[in-house]
Structure 1
Amino acid sequence: MRYAQGGGLTDTERAARERIRLQAVVRFESGEKNREVAAALRVSERSVERWRRAWRERGRVGVLSQGSPGRSRLSETQVARLERELERGPLVHGGADQRWTLARVKTLIGRLFHVSYTVEGTWRLLKRHGWSWQQPARRAIERDDDAVEVWKKETWPRVRGPRRSAVPGSSSRTRPGSR
């Protein structure tokens, strides 16, 4: 089911929907037909068919709410352990360098807790617990910052040359002589 503006059901709304499904179960047990159940509960027949199938396959448990799909599948204790392991660094866990990637964190979660997350779900989990995205600065080992500053101050102005001033009536979108 999709909701406008990316929203979902609150816990209260989820509980209300669950109560309706449980009322449907009572009606299933009394032998009412899908059309009658749908009319009485003011829901679609298609929903009633889906609930009846879940009820036949799994009983009352089949129609209970499974909770928010955005809810973390890790307990607070597991998240605390994950954070400790992340702070130890990726090299300890078999990474090739000192950068955590979402794929590496996803793999770590699977190894530690036998829980499968998508890469996007891993990002949401980390973000929810205060981790932020960081791009490492990529710099050449041979880089000499002092020499770069000297080059920018002395050489670059000569290479770039003076700027042309705008002539009245000329457009900045056309080059001189291109008319």
Structure 2
Amino acid sequence: MRGQLSDSDLNWALGYACDMGDEDAVRALLADGAPASGPSNYKRETLPGASTPLHIAVHAQHAGIVECLAEKGADLDARDEAGRTPLHYAAARDVVGMLLKLGAAVDVRDNAGETPLDAAVRERRHAAVVALLAKGAQPTQPIAPKLTPRWVRQVNMLGGSTQRVQPNNLRGLQPFTMQYWSRDT
């Protein structure tokens, strides 16, 4: 196949195969020299530019392809134009466990300051939250240098008790104060 496709065509075909879930095609394209890492020239409307084949496979929830790309050396912590890693997308979907098992960084922030844990909380993916916390994600990291409602929502999602997560470590606020500011208005 290599003689028939240019590097650009291989790159696009790999992105497309990752999106469509064609694991056999992904393996064949990688064997023919398609790059497992680096931005794909295949564009998915719901992903920002500079997305890698791994970003695409994670976003499309194709766990077998995620594993295949990782085996071929895909960068687990590559960033797209929004600064998101594949784990940011996995945390909002159902493939977070595999990336964590492969060693993806858990507390990396995107361009907006959001971590994979923030994405999992925002998308209400309880299993992803639990998995990220088990791998050491920090629920108490402030997004800004002050206490934020998002931080308190994360703590409350973990069990509704701010008592268990050092409630006085940011600005000395007590649990009642944090719960008051975390409520939706």
Normalising by the residue count of structure 1, what TM-score does the alignment of the two structures yield?
0.22
Q: Which has the greater radius of gyration?
A: 1
Structure number having the greater helix percentage: 1
